[in-house]
Amino acid sequence: MKIYREMNVGTATPPADVLARIPHWCVNIVAPSEAFSVARYLEYAEAALATIEDRGERHILSGGTPLYHKALAEGLFPGPGADPQVRDKLTAIAREQGPRVLHERLAQVDPQSARRIHPHDLKRVVRALEVVERTGRPMSAHQTQFGRPRTDRAVAMVGLLWDRQELAERINERVERMLAQGLVEEAHSLYEREPPLSAQARAAVGYAELFAHFAGRLSRDEAVDRIKRNTRRLAKSQMTWLRKFDCQWIPMSGERDAGELASEVLASWEQRLEAAL
């Protein structure tokens, strides 16, 4: 979600002084009213990587969107474009009958994708069903590239592994910090924004819950509790994804020195990249 402008607090976009000191790419590049996709991300990311590599410099891919990481590291199958009518129809079914109905349908037509996609991950369930409807073949049959690392670029992945309880506490503290930094005010300005937010931006954790509060469906306290809960669920989903990568995990705790941690990550990268070359 850092690709969106005007959503800085809720996405923890680095502050202006950090962006000025350290070059960042693919941050604040589109308006929140625009739809965005992994295919568009790849276009921006590949252009950024080419520029950085031309300078003889090394790049770091960071963030919590494992599908984007996987697509960049392994490629993306050339699936059909989005079909708004199909998506609207499927989304309406989920709204009326619940997302599990769609997931059960996916399990019938594409069991491999159904095992991989969480029942509550409505966006990806809808996309998988859309591919089946538009091509007559399951998405898993198209994604033959996934699982095979690219041969034109070496990738060394390091993950920071937190104790589950400590991670939950840090997430709760992070939400409170965002509220103190003006998350409610930022969300309210987006809620009234014209043109309105895209469906993707509107569904972002931290904003969707506050939009429900502005609409009178949740109290402020209920919205905050849901932000914390949904962020914890998102982190759990991200960890499930990341464990599928060839990733070296570094144990974390709040007492770790940032400089020592950075040195350990760098040493791991150097070792893994040397082995890959």
Number of domains forming the structure of the chain:
2
Q: Are residues 176 and 125 in the same domain?
A: no
Averaged over successive runs of 10 residues, the pLDDT of the chain (277 residues) comes to: 96 94 94 88 90 90 83 74 85 90 93 85 88 84 60 83 94 98 98 93 95 97 98 91 87 90 92 79
Indicate if 246 and 169 belong to the same structural domain: yes
Pair 117, 178 in one domain: no
Nearest CA to 9 out of 169, 226, 227, 162 is that of 227
Query: Among positive and negative, which fits the CA dihedral 20, 22, 23, 28?
Result: negative
Q: Please indicate, yes or no, whether residues 170 and 261 belong to a single structural domain of this protein.
A: yes
3-state helix, strand, coil in the chain (%, to 5): 60, 5, 35
Residues pairing with 157 in the sheet? 247
Last residue of some domain: 118, 142, 166? 142
Pair (157, 241) in one structural domain:
yes
DSSP state of 37: -
Q: Which domain holds residue 202?
A: 8-76+147-276
Token pair of 21, please?
A: 């000191």
CA pair distance 191, 212, nearest whole angstrom:
10
What is the CB neighbour count within 10 angstroms for residue 208? 16
What is the pLDDT at residue 74?
79
Same domain, 37 and 167: yes
ω before 32 within 30° of 0 (cis)? no
Q: How far apart are CA 74 and CA 42, in angstroms?
A: 11
* pLDDT in the model for residue 13: 95
